[in-house]
Amino acid sequence: MEINKIIQKSHISADLKNIAEKVFQSQRISVDEGLLLYEKAELSFLALLANNIREQKNGDYTYYIKNIHIEPTNICIHNCKFCSYSRKAGEAGAWEMSMAEIIEKIKHALLKGISEIHIVGGVHPQRDLYYYAEMISEIKKIAPETHIKAFTAIELDYMFKKSEKTYSEGFEILKKAGLNSIPGGGAEIFSENIRQQICENKSSGKIWLKIHEAAHKSGIQSNATMLYGHIENYSHRIDHLEKLRELQDKTAMFNAFIPLKYRNKNNDMSSIQEVTVNEDLRNYAVCRIFLDNFNHIKAYWPMIGKATTQLSLSFGVDDIDGTIEDSTKIYSMAGVEEQNPLMTTENIHEIIKGAKRIPVERDSVYNQLRITN
């Protein structure tokens, strides 16, 4: 067995051998062990452990979804230093989509067989809970069976407060309108010290966690994210992952975890050099190993590019998001190579099969729709 080969290698420390034994026996690793993996483990060692977990949970299946991203506005009350996307009202590059424009975009995407409508945007100062509930209701009129995954915890925090609703009350209104799940954006790094430096006016990490817990209590599943590769260190990452693991122990309502790489173009932190592909892969692997109660780790291909996405499938990743329909600007405005984020189903199959994996089209909650051998 591969584990015996690992343990026999003299250059691997006793601590790393112990972690390997835990992983191969499906035991949880500690915070200190997660930090040790970040700091000391070789990339090949991490790949072996992460891939073992990935194959235990999902075999060679690699998931994707036919989806469209709707970004109603990039006008935002916040001034996050890492953000290349947001604008103030009247500023060059600001946009506000009308309801008619949103509906037209979705009608076009429905003809291509999408199964998910993903909606996130800026925290617009004038738009409240009822505005977005109406938006969802209008979308459901033309797409009653299509899953709507919408609004980060940061957007939700603002719209609930603006409308003077509790989290549970707000979620009930959105559920009645047709909301099916929420994405994981806005988590950034939970460390308040780091948040003070990169997004000081944004909802806190504690609020993010409370909103997702409230969503779960309302029967609304969600995803989780972490923004990495800026001013945080490995201890901040592990602290972030631990808080997610604890909430997942409590609710079991997170569908997937998505590490999001900081991209440095056109924002107030552009002097920070982006981390390497090796660091991307290290991060995917450690996240896969540490988050033992998450079934899926997603590589968001518009953010890291198609080549790194394919590599990530050997480092614990089992999901590469979806076709996107050339409808997201959040990362293209930050300088990623995928300036027009669009992939056909055939493109996705090529990436997955090129990594010796099996493409599986899924719905938003990981029901398998189509397996392509």
pLDDT at 326 over 90: no
Contact 318, 296 (CB under 8 A): yes
* Residue 223 lies in domain: 60-371
Taking residues 364-371, what's their average pLDDT? Answer: 97
pLDDT at 332: 45
More confident residue, 217 or 85: 217
More confident residue, 259 or 5: 259
* CB burial readout 272-308, b (16+ within 10 A) else e: eebeeeeebbbbbbbbbbbbbebbbbbbbbbbbbbeb
Residues 312 and 163 occupy one common structural domain: yes
Taking residues 152-156, what's their average pLDDT? Answer: 97
- Which among 102, 98, 96, 184 has a CA at the least distance from the CA of 143? 102
Taking residues 61-83, what's their average pLDDT? Answer: 92
Residues 44 and 191 occupy one common structural domain: no
Residues 119 and 18 occupy one common structural domain: no
Query: How many Cβ atoms are within 10 Å of 340's Cβ, its own excluded?
Result: 8
Domain boundary among 53, 74, 96: 53
Quick one: CA dihedral 196, 198, 201, 203, positive or negative?
negative
Residues 223 and 109 occupy one common structural domain: yes
Q: What are phi and psi of 199, to 5 degrees?
A: -160, 60
More confident residue, 339 or 20: 20
Total count of domains within the chain: 2
Write the CATH number for 131. Answer: 3.20.20.70
Residues 25 and 121 occupy one common structural domain: no
pLDDT band at 4 (very low <50, low <70, confident <90, very high): low
Taking residues 317-337, what's their average pLDDT? Answer: 62
More confident residue, 334 or 341: 341
pLDDT at 333 over 50: no
Look at 6-10, 135-139, 186-190, 206-210 and tell me which has the smallest mean pLDDT. 6-10
Query: Mean of the per-residue pLDDT values for the chain?
Result: 92
How close are the terminal C-alpha atoms of the chain, in Å? 27
Residues 10 and 123 occupy one common structural domain: no
pLDDT at 10 over 60: no
